[in-house]
């Protein structure tokens, strides 16, 4: 289990604590949704961002899902879509559908054109919605984009995140390949079919002051360059 360089933890804590969930404290690592089963080993842990690489980590088996018994009947809880809000209007604009076929891992990007097609999870629909997006043909933005999937990672390989069974899985996506404009930042969301846990993450957006300083610095460099060229002339 090699170490993953995850970058910055951009996970948003959902506000539930030990008193609400019965499981650990104010964080997403080893924490599930309020009133959910909290002794499971397949919770979600966090979103991480390093450059354009967004990595989602959890004890949950993103590839195969997790089986459990619902009223005595076996049920497989599958991965949902990764949703993005890129214009800061609190509505999701895009959905990434993860496809696991044998050794191939790809995703399709869909523009969310109809919020009626946002599907809620089967259990914790109030706190974990949405689960997946049911697109129509003209919603497709990009098809069959590769992503990296890691399974069976030990705690030390993922920044010492806690794991109920000591292992984690990770989905790593290059946001530069999605066909989505993330220049204004983004809000990301993921849950599994039951909605027993969910992840939210927000990318850091440069502050106006930072952008202003960068602009002044670039203008200064340009001025110095022109001055040197003038001196040589």
Give the residue among 59, 179, 168 at the shortest CA–CA distance from 107.
179
Spell out the SS3 assignment of 69-127: EECCEEEEECECCEEEECCCCCCCCEEEEEEEECCEEEEEEEECCCHHHEECCCCCHHH
3 state DSSP class of 172: strand
pLDDT at 4: 74
pLDDT at 55: 96
Give the DSSP letter string of 124-141: -HHHH---EE---GGGEE
pLDDT at 231: 59
* pLDDT tens-place values along the chain, 233 residues long: 446 778 999 999 988 888 888 877 778 888 888 888 777 777 899 999 999 999 999 988 899 888 765 666 666 889 999 999 999 998 999 999 999 876 789 999 999 999 999 999 998 888 899 999 999 878 999 999 999 999 888 877 777 777 666 788 999 999 999 999 999 999 999 999 999 899 999 998 655 544 444 455 555 555 545 555 555 55
SS3 content of the chain, % helix, strand, coil (to 5): 20, 35, 45
Could you tell me the pTM of the whole model?
A: 0.84
φ, ψ (nearest 5 deg) of residue 68:
-155, 175
What is the rounded CA–CA span in Å between residue 50 and residue 32? Answer: 25
pLDDT at 119: 97
């Amino acid at each position: 289990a090699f170490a993953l360089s995850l970058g910055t933890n951009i996970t948003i804590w959902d506000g539930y604590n030990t008193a609400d969930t019965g499981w650990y404290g104010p964080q997403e690592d080893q924490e599930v949704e309020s009133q959910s089963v909290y002794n499971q080993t397949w919770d979600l842990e966090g979103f991480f961002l390093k450059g354009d690489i967004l990595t989602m980590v959890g004890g949950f088996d993103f590839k195969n899902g997790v089986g459990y018994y619902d009223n005595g009947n076996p049920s497989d809880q599958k991965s949902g879509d990764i949703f993005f809000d890129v214009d800061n209007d609190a509505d999701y604009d895009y959905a990434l559908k993860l496809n696991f076929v044998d050794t191939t891992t790809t995703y399709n990007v869909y523009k969310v054109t109809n919020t009626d097609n946002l599907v809620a999870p089967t259990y914790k629909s109030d706190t974990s919605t949405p689960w997946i997006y049911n697109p129509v043909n003209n919603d497709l933005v990009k098809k069959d984009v590769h992503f990296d999937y890691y399974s069976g990672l030990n705690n030390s390989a993922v920044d010492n995140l806690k794991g109920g069974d000591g292992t984690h899985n990770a989905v790593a996506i290059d946001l530069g390949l999605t066909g989505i404009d993330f220049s204004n930042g983004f809000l990301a969301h993921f849950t599994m079919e039951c909605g027993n846990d969910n992840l939210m993450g927000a990318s850091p957006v440069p502050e106006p002051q930072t952008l202003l300083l960068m602009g002044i610095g670039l203008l200064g460099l340009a001025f110095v360059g022109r001055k040197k060229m003038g001196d040589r002339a």
